[in-house]
Chain A
């Protein structure tokens, strides 16, 4: 075979060029439109950070996540490898292909299709600088992609092999796009093999080419196969924006925006779009969702949510049927903050946003103290927690006041979770004034729901501590001491404290001073939701019970004598189904606190008097 000049224009490149043009224009248009929809704050961040180190960090993240799929590797190496094959392999083929053309022609301005159909233009006999290395690498990465393709086909038919119990169903466009995607590389492989004929480029296409040439009229077959390859690319590029594979370009853009620090807490249409379209609909979120695995509710998972938004068929019933536990956030390989997205979209169905709370005029000033203790609404249904806290704080000699439940309002998180952002703001304003009127130096709460709200939405000038953090501080500064018991405990991470606020270690350190912690199968980020979540307004009692029973089974499996948790809602919910005693961390501490006979400062005074 002879070399064809690279400035010639074979007809089969036309579909590819149309596809490439279409997708470039389309993505450019869409991304610019979304960026235009960013709010002022988002635009400012965009401008400020684009030329900083953050961009480099984003590039690093794109490499690790979008190309190498590190998070997926962690979930399941085989699944990770499959994705890496496609993403990294394809990326390398584009990159090396480009370098190959440059090395061959000595120019960087070669037409875009030359690299794609390189082996049509350049015959195997023609040698140039490091041509052997290029051929080898191109074959190597092609093989990599083909191996990924093999796994992908396996996954389609037996998803359990790749560690997924449930997987998503493709719609028609997805299926067509997938068909084109699967066609691209086998077509390329065959086209290149045929083009190499009996001469051979490298180990893969060369050997195959020789084999094919031995019994097929390869000369006549080359052009048709280039056509198939080109049409496959065309089909993939044209359908991509309307299929789940839109996640490939969007995810890259999303990683940049994320690293530039765009504020996710705001209702931010532009940014939301980037996040929603970054979903690859891989379905990892289905297996972690307890509504699916325990209650058999299969229409509310994160994949369904992003699909419904893209297709404009989001329904209120499904949107509000979510525990907002954040297990899908942890599992998502793209790192989409689904709970926050749902919270924002719930705003469309918010019916309490006009609530004025006129009865909450100005708060009566709180009593003055150094520490102000906010038990939270739910704690009044579990009075043992507040009582234990008071006992501990008295023993520790703290200057504290409890905010009475008739003076304070709800923290506002249930309102916020239900999408009633404005109403939440009014409750925040009221409580904030009330808390600050105590002139306290520190706010302590027993409720993880309130805690997350105080930390993220109150902008308080004083530190906010969950009681597990606070009690650990008291223990570490020697203000309280605990008697270590022969007590086997399992600790349950509440959603808003663990995944929601990343408080994992403090409760454990505290409990270890009172007894022995034994691990369950669901610890830390992987902890299960108790089912009592305030985030779900649609779930019925029977479904809740299924979720709780499963959790209790799991927590009871290591045969502990006590189930400890740090949330009044979790405590009540678990206690309902548990035959093992359930206690809040404050109650565990209060029960095992060592009585001090003489306060240290009193002792010093006494000693100085003796002198």
Chain B
């Protein structure tokens, strides 16, 4: 089910189209293409460390002519960016913990003990994935508004958790199904009840699964823009909404905008390269069977 390693060199298709010494050519060709592909991001990073005026120069250059941190200074002066990042981080973290906790409990129940109610819920859970976010956002806005929770972090935490729980269930079932039932039985013989067996034995061996679920839940919340835009205004505003405010009709803030975009996405980029193994397993799960 998990297939994170491309290192398993498995020559076929194109590999057979070319002889071995042509591999170098393919390698160079692909590397050039990949660098071209990633170049928009590199361009943004390079622009963010140019002087602010270079971002709105009529003849832009790819590489900086001069280095400057002006754009970064501007974002700190212009808006409470630290607060926005803090809001993003807090709402994403708490909703991730909640979603992974609730999701893995439910997934374990569904994976180990079959029941009709559970299966109906599982089917509904899968349907939720097909529902457009905006369709949940509309009634959510009404409900949150009715509860008087507009512009609070709690509103975002509830929303992100609700969206992530089905995903966490769906992902964790796959992992729990791979844990042999003998583990549960052994734990029960050693005097655990069902709940402690789950906490002490099953969860620890499912750590890669938990990590995968946590990464995806966190990223969904961290990257969210629609719900934050709809449900917050000042106090609970998240980084994505804050950054989007650099877009003005007059293009004057394009430089600081690149700095804000980089501050928001570069840590994510580095982190996602570090945990690529989990991301790959999460994304190919469901699509590729063992």
A-B interaction: no
